[in-house]
């Protein structure tokens, strides 16, 4: 008779401990949400007003311009001067973009998607070069983000 009573008491104590623990975690979450933005977020927002925003704008313009004439591009030989110059401009802008994110120390999912969309438009060797640059920045820990 004593054993079921003891087990019942132990179970009740366990439930109480769990409830207290859960309430503690809830308070921690609330406190975390109330905290100010991390420094990296603030730095990123500050950078958005300068080089980073300008570079993103250049890349967008370049992509828009290229997408506006896909048929014409398809008719041109891949080694055409226009294509080469366009690729070079885009490649340089993307490389600078990676360097900017490296300096900031982080890259968001949206920025990563934008970068990849740009990189895919390049010729195979430039594509490889920039993907390597991106991966090296991630693996070195200088840029935090995900592919």
Partner 1 sequence: MRMKQVISVAGLILGWSAAMAGLVQPAPVEVTLFGNGAGRAAGDMVSARFSKDSVAFIGCGVRRIYSIDGSFGVFGFCEARTSSGVTGTCFSQDPALIESLASISDYSFIIFSWNASGACTSIGNSTQSVYIPDK
Q: Which residues bind partner 1 (CB under 8 A)?
A: 3, 63, 66-67, 70, 73-74, 78, 116-117, 119-121, 127-128, 131-132, 134-136, 138-141, 144, 146-147
DSSP letter assigned to residue 35: S
Cα–Cα distance for residue pair 66/61, rounded to 1 Å: 9
The β-bridge partners of 106 are: 144
Give the helix/strand (H/E) hosting 92: helix 81-104
Q: Are 61 and 88 in contact (CB under 8 A)?
A: no
Q: How far is the CB of 129 from partner 1 (least distance, A)?
A: 9
Q: Which is nearer to partner 1, 45 or 144 (CB)?
A: 144
Q: Which is nearer to partner 1, 50 or 144 (CB)?
A: 144
Tally of CB atoms within 10 A around 68: 9
Q: How far is the CB of 9 from partner 1 (least distance, A)?
A: 16
Q: Which is nearer to partner 1, 55 or 115 (CB)?
A: 115
Q: How far is the CB of 94 from partner 1 (least distance, A)?
A: 13
């Amino acid at each position: 008779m004593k054993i079921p009573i003891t087990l019942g008491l132990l179970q009740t104590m366990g439930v109480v401990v769990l409830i207290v623990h859960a309430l503690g975690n809830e308070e921690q979450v609330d406190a975390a949400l109330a905290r100010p933005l991390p420094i990296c977020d603030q730095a990123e927002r500050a950078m958005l007003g300068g080089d980073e925003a300008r570079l993103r704008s250049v890349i967008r313009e370049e992509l828009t311009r290229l997408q506006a004439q896909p048929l014409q591009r398809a008719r041109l030989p891949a080694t055409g001067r226009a294509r080469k110059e366009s690729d070079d401009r885009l490649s340089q802008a993307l490389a600078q973009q990676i360097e900017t994110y490296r300096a900031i120390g982080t890259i968001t999912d949206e920025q990563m998607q934008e970068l990849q969309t740009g990189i895919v438009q390049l010729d195979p060797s430039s594509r490889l070069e920039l993907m390597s640059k991106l991966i090296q920045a991630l693996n070195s820990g200088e840029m935090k983000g995900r592919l």
